[in-house]
Amino acid sequence: MKLSDMGERAIIGKLGRFLDIGDDAACIRMGDRFLVMSTDAIHAPTHIPKEMTPQQIGKFIVTVNLSDMAAMGAKPLAFLLSYGGPDTEFTRFKKIIKSAQKQCRKFKIDLVGGDTKEMKELTLTGCAVGTAKRPVLRSGARPGDIVAVTGELGAAGACFELLGKKRRPNRALLKAALEPEPKIKEGILLAKHANSMTDISDSLAVSIYSIAERSGVGIKIDIDRIPMSSIDHALYSGGDYQLLFTMPEKNFTRLREVTNSTRIGTVTRAGGISATRKGREFRIKHKGYGHFGRNR
Amino acid sequence: MKLSDMGERAIIGKLGRFLDIGDDAACIRMGDRFLVMSTDAIHAPTHIPKEMTPQQIGKFIVTVNLSDMAAMGAKPLAFLLSYGGPDTEFTRFKKIIKSAQKQCRKFKIDLVGGDTKEMKELTLTGCAVGTAKRPVLRSGARPGDIVAVTGELGAAGACFELLGKKRRPNRALLKAALEPEPKIKEGILLAKHANSMTDISDSLAVSIYSIAERSGVGIKIDIDRIPMSSIDHALYSGGDYQLLFTMPEKNFTRLREVTNSTRIGTVTRAGGISATRKGREFRIKHKGYGHFGRNR
């Protein structure tokens, strides 16, 4: 069997069985809190949109890694960057690094270390380290919890669709797709009460399935409530660095506005994912952005 | 200017000015100790000897990262692995991961997380996290310190030279080159008294220059004392995951045997690197294994 026959989620599932992964980041207890660690790579041919400037690339590698911190409700502590790339001009390299550094500073951390290697294609691997008093896993959703997302969904997917058709997206779409921001502040606020949380960078659909499966619950989604520009992009496109979480309704009331979140469903006791759209049953496919060759 | 005009050390020097790097790993104070973090990547065309089996590759990515922990005198806490590679057979992927896991367990840590991405060439990026009460930097060498190395040097370089000439190295050489071990135990023991320390994976020569420069001291080496199979390989080849350190002579006496170390020189007040061989002056070139295209 080849890796592309499995899809990235399945590979991480397999890895998970070796490695006990399954959350956005790993946690280790250190005294009265947890150390939270994650790694995420972007690679030119498959993960770096060719429209990105060096500045956007530098920002992006930090965002994708800090988004994993946000998903755990962790406060970032430090960021490491491994730079692999062709023997390109030093000025481009410098722009990427400087921009990564700037994005780190926005979240009050330093780019503390790095590594450079010559590679044929630009390959950036980040490693984020943070701390959390109570990291939020994907496995804690409880029947009765509301299901909610931060922000608005689908802009990144819509932008990439237009770019794929050689059309020029507007400024807001380009910014959403090429300059996403990690939801650190929101993650920390939500962590106080969320029973489960994950980022939806691989797609909302995949993330819904993941929380339901790992929590041993069902999830019922009201499609009409999803804050989105297009159903397909909101559910399946990925690239929206927003958070999906579940928590008791009473806590959500207070956090809704300050985290710019929207309730989109409910955790159910019975397993499986169900959804309605305009009062009718709607099937959410288990599909998202897969890195080994295909969507699934 | 291109990156290859600079050499990896120079790039890291440039990065260092942006990022304040310059040691084997980054440190952040956390309560009564320091969190120590490093990242290191290996890439098939340039950093993974083609003779390596999947098992040796999995072990190697852990070793190169833990060697950075050893160089700081840190106790490893966790390891993260980002796996990029062609859409290869799952069994090969599994062998690499399982072997990385086994090497982690040898040092009582877990491979706690990972990431998989499709890439044309096998690219593994590790991130090691550890703790140290007193991390040992490259900048603390003091005049009068002895200069010493752990283990024996040059075997890796000798092995790669033979392989390059299509000759078959003996078992011991192959093991030294293809299955190096990080000197974690030695690093922790030495950290109690070392004033400066680094690993010598990029070459002994480069590491000597680095400690002298960052400590603002000179170093005088007695070439005849270097425990080695060949001067050229010991000084310039890299691939020996041993430690170079300086410390007061009185402390070295007790640590010499338990860390299998050999004194090879002395830290001097006057700057610059000097060396003697059989009583005559010997010039140590500033040369090692550079990853961007050339040795320097």
Q: What confidence tens digit (pLDDT) does each residue in B202-218 have?
A: 899 999 999 999 999 99
Mean of pLDDT values over B36-42 = 94
Beta carbons of A125 and B39 less than 8 Å apart: yes
Length reported for chain A: 296
Mean of pLDDT values over B68-79 = 97
Q: Decide if pLDDT at B129 tops 90.
A: yes
Asked if residue A88 lies in contact with residue A126, where contact means CB atoms within 8 angstroms, the answer is: no
Question: Could you read off the pLDDT of A215-226 as tens digits, one per residue?
Answer: 999 999 999 999
In the prediction, which pLDDT does B252 show?
97
* Least CB–CB distance from B15: residue in A18, A116, A293: A116
Q: What tokens does A101 get?
A: 């550094």
Distance to chain A for B130, nearest Cα, Å: 11
Beta carbons of B2 and A46 less than 8 Å apart: no
Distance to chain B for A108, nearest Cα, Å: 14
Question: Could you read off the pLDDT of B84-113 as tens digits, one per residue?
Answer: 888 767 788 899 999 999 999 999 999 998
In total, the C-beta contacts within 8 angstroms joining chain A to chain B are 217
Beta carbons of B2 and A90 less than 8 Å apart: yes
Distances (CA, A) of A6 to A10, A13, A293: 5, 10, 9
Residue B18 confidence class, pLDDT cut points 50, 70, 90: very low
Residues of A in contact with B28 (CB under 8 A): 77-78, 112
Q: Decide if pLDDT at B9 tops 70.
A: no
In the prediction, which pLDDT does A2 show?
63
In the prediction, which pLDDT does A15 show?
52
Beta carbons of A89 and B2 less than 8 Å apart: yes
Q: Decide if pLDDT at A22 tops 80.
A: no
Residues of B in contact with A32 (CB under 8 A): none
Q: Decide if pLDDT at B53 tops 90.
A: yes
Beta carbons of A19 and B97 less than 8 Å apart: yes
pTM of the model: 0.89
Beta carbons of A113 and B6 less than 8 Å apart: no
In the prediction, which pLDDT does B229 show?
80
Q: A33-37, A213-217, B15-19: lowest mean pLDDT where?
A: B15-19
Give CA–CA dist A179/A176, Å, rounded.
6
Q: Decide if pLDDT at B16 tops 60.
A: no
In the prediction, which pLDDT does B3 show?
61
Using CA atoms in the order A90, A91, A94, A100, what is the torsion angle rounded to 10 degrees? Answer: -130
Residue A21 confidence class, pLDDT cut points 50, 70, 90: low
Mutation target vs A (from B77, B116, B122; most A CBs, 10 A cutoff)? B116
Residue B295 confidence class, pLDDT cut points 50, 70, 90: very low
Give CA–CA dist B126/B104, Å, rounded.
12
Q: Decide if pLDDT at A82 tops 90.
A: yes
% residues pLDDT > 70 (chain B): 90
Q: In what order do the strands lie in the sheet with B272-277?
A: B196-199, B243-247, B146-150, B261-268, B218-222, B272-277, B280-282
Angle between helices A90-106 and A54-72 (to 10 degrees): 30
In the prediction, which pLDDT does A27 show?
93
Q: Is B224 exposed, middle or buried (0-12, 13-18, 19+ CB in 10 A)?
A: middle
Residue A295 confidence class, pLDDT cut points 50, 70, 90: very low
Residues of B in contact with A37 (CB under 8 A): 78, 80, 112-113, 127, 129
Residue A90 confidence class, pLDDT cut points 50, 70, 90: confident
Question: Could you read off the pLDDT of A179-223 as tens digits, one per residue?
Answer: 999 999 999 999 999 999 999 988 999 999 999 999 999 999 999
One-letter amino acid for residue A230 of the chain: S
Which carries the bigger pLDDT value, residue A117 or residue A174? Answer: A174
* Least CB–CB distance from A2: residue in B8, B15, B89: B89
Beta carbons of B18 and A101 less than 8 Å apart: yes
Give the residue among B175, B184, B177, B105 at the shortest CA–CA distance from B150. Answer: B184
Q: Decide if pLDDT at B20 tops 50.
A: no
ipTM over 0.90: no
Q: A40-54, A177-191, B17-31, B228-242: lowest mean pLDDT where?
A: B17-31
In the prediction, which pLDDT does B22 show?
75
In the prediction, which pLDDT does B292 show?
41
Mean of pLDDT values over A118-136 = 93
% residues pLDDT > 90 (chain A): 75
Beta carbons of B88 and A3 less than 8 Å apart: yes
* Least CB–CB distance from A116: residue in B12, B84, B127: B12
Which carries the bigger pLDDT value, residue B22 or residue A112? Answer: A112
In the prediction, which pLDDT does B17 show?
47
Q: What tokens does A122 get?
A: 């630009």
* Least CB–CB distance from A19: residue in B93, B111, B123: B111
Query: What's the mean per-residue pLDDT of chain B?
Result: 89
Q: Decide if pLDDT at A39 tops 60.
A: yes
Distance to chain B for A186, nearest Cα, Å: 24
Domains annotated for chain B, with CATH where assigned, are: 3-132 (3.30.1330.10), 146-282 (3.90.650.10)
Beta carbons of A35 and B84 less than 8 Å apart: no
